[in-house]
Chains A and B, each alone.
Chain A
């Protein structure tokens, strides 16, 4: 081991029978690992070194290690981070505390339960909805660069869930659809090719939809891809209000 090392304090949890457990009730343990310090290493590199050299039982998710697959989100010193983009040098010489994403049930060690998120994602119908599908042999739907730009930012979500771990509303209200799924709903609502806003409206305007958001804005702060879910949610609310007024003033009209 090189002279220079850094210590990672890593959350450990192994269920007995493979069951689920909330961290708060099950008494987590932390285990300290001393790893070599390299300036170019990220926290994920250090975790891989631990698993390879010290302790094969440490479990976590990762794949691309280039910030696009969205697997390796964890709490690093209390802040949700992609561990493939969190450099040791930004923490050195201090100890780095690594925990699973907060507000999620922990399956094991640094692995959280994603089922809830996938259900929320599906609930906003994240696909292009058309009244009439154009046959493929008639070519593409035209879309100007400006029309593309109006939703492009919200299409950049990698589903890493850092925004859920940053959102106090997610912590208080388990059913809140949450920042990423709402941003993805807006991504389709704002797409000039889409005609499904009305179909998504019920999910978005429910109490656990956009109105659950109290505009803390932490989601946009931690987003590694600058998706700005907070901005998306505010636009959902504005659209909701417009719809509501339209219905009030023109009850005979369509939404």
Chain B
């Protein structure tokens, strides 16, 4: 067995949040050694797939209050307003910092950074790099991180399996070095979780294969609560079959959604009235195609029920039409949309409308943190999609998540650095003993085991289908219970799992098995949180409890894992500072009812 590896700060996950946190530590305190542990090479992380942009107030006609108000109403008042205020205030600085690190933001003729409108946003405030914003941000962060040689040490393709908690503090992880199969003890004074979301627990998702909720599950199993897990964002425009994302930017540039009759059906769902696409006021902000994602995805389901959607070999679709934007604009502003539509839907959006349907995209919930990125477990911090601060509440606005991983990645890095300076002791011997148990567990459960009868892929696809059926855009007590029973039985059957691969080098079947366990744990927390929230708010729509109920549920759900049975659910009040709960208004009414502050 290899000796324990020691650093001052461990960051698990090398996407946008992890890289931003690593740079924050390196800049904050050059004496601290940072280890960035990632199951894939950092530039493979799913930040890479974000397309539309990153929100931050920068133009004279905009204001912090407006970005706060949009975010809070978009969240159906479940966001913590102190967190939103911090987020909005620090957003422009973080985006400018990225500019200084080379991110190729799209520009105005004046040379200033350009912004575009986005769903649910009252003003143009979304910075973008054509339609590959996440890709450019991730590569700018990764390449910048390389200059901190000696301060940031990369453990690429290391898969963390367990948090090590000793003396009431998180002091490290056990991680498998995929190249050798060695299971290392990594010890540190503080750990930051930046492992992204868990969209892969659903069958139809924009998320890459790696998004299996690993960090959420590790924290959950270490006793840290998962917050607001019932809130799952469906993006309204995914390609049928593959679930590949067609960015909201297609609509912010003027694209429209039409049903099989050619109607702009969103007009029937309290999202305002359509303007002709030739009208200079189109697209209207906070209206129609630029409404929030939860409302647009729900409208699709209603259209489907009315028989207004279009048959396709991969489920019903509506059409996202961008033809009127002109070939020139599509090539300049939406080249990736065109490439994806041509490669994966076989159509050129310059000439034909794009078939789309709602698709699982983002987890609003995650590891419970405060505005400093700290979790209730001392020494454990979290940022990015795996965390829930919460600024996203019951529905995240498009282009807030790329900014979120910068703002809270940097905050978590600074907080962890401060914590590490105050907590120098690491209990190596005790950590190694715990790690030995973990090594033994993995060998016995997977590598030396024989005679199991359950196949990994079968269990995984049952999970996918159950989640899709019972925990989708609309849910009921019955649908959730049924899915929960399936997940319970999958947990049971998982004990009887048999993998083919017993080798050490790049045993990707072993990691897939460990990922499945993480997915089952996340699913359990999600389902039980959804069962207990007997109201409809944002992305959580219960047809058996169709109204929002502020008297009971203006609260965050906290799910604590128990060894025997479903998680224990507790609630925590939402922080309200200046924006009292009100009605979410989009469309024509919106301008009259603007919630100023």
Contact = CB atoms under 8 A, between A and B. Distances in A.
Given A62-B209, A126-B143, A68 B132 contact: yes
A152 B41 contact: no
Interface stretch (B1-9, B44-52, B474-482): B44-52
B506 A64 contact: no
Given A69-B46, A126-B143, A143-B107, A56 B505 contact: no
Given A18-B180, A68-B49, A71-B44, A122 B146 contact: yes
B502 to A, nearest CB: 9
A contacts with B: majority SS: loop
Contacts of A127: 101-102, 143-144, 146-147
Contacts of B93: 136-137
B273 interface: no
B112 A114 contact: no
A65 B336 CA distance: 14
Contacts of A52: 456-457
B544 interface: no
Contact of B44 (A59, A70, A128, A188): A70
B104 A63 contact: no
A108 B178 CA distance: 11
Interface residues of B, number: 62
B593 to A, nearest CB: 34
Given A57-B500, A62-B209, A155-B104, A144 B109 contact: yes
A194 B101 CA distance: 10
Interface string B37-70: 0001101111011000000000000000000000
A2 interface: no
A65 B209 contact: yes
B425 interface: no
Contacts of B209: 62-65
B301 interface: no
B543 interface: no
Nearest to B108: A145
Contacts of A205: none
Given A59-B506, A158-B135, A125 B147 contact: yes
Interface string B242-280: 101100000000000000000000000000000000000
A7 interface: no
13 contacts: A51-B509, A56-B500, A69-B48, A122-B146, A122-B149, A125-B147, A127-B102, A127-B144, A127-B146, A128-B102, A136-B93, A158-B135, A191-B102
Given A69-B48, A136-B93, 14 more contacts: A52-B456, A59-B508, A68-B49, A69-B49, A85-B343, A127-B101, A134-B100, A140-B96, A140-B113, A144-B107, A145-B109, A148-B106, A158-B48, A159-B41
Interface of B: 40-41, 43-46, 48-49, 93, 96-97, 99-102, 104-113, 132, 135-136, 139, 143-144, 146-147, 149, 156, 179-181, 208-210, 241-242, 244-245, 336, 339-340, 343-344, 456-457, 499-501, 503-509
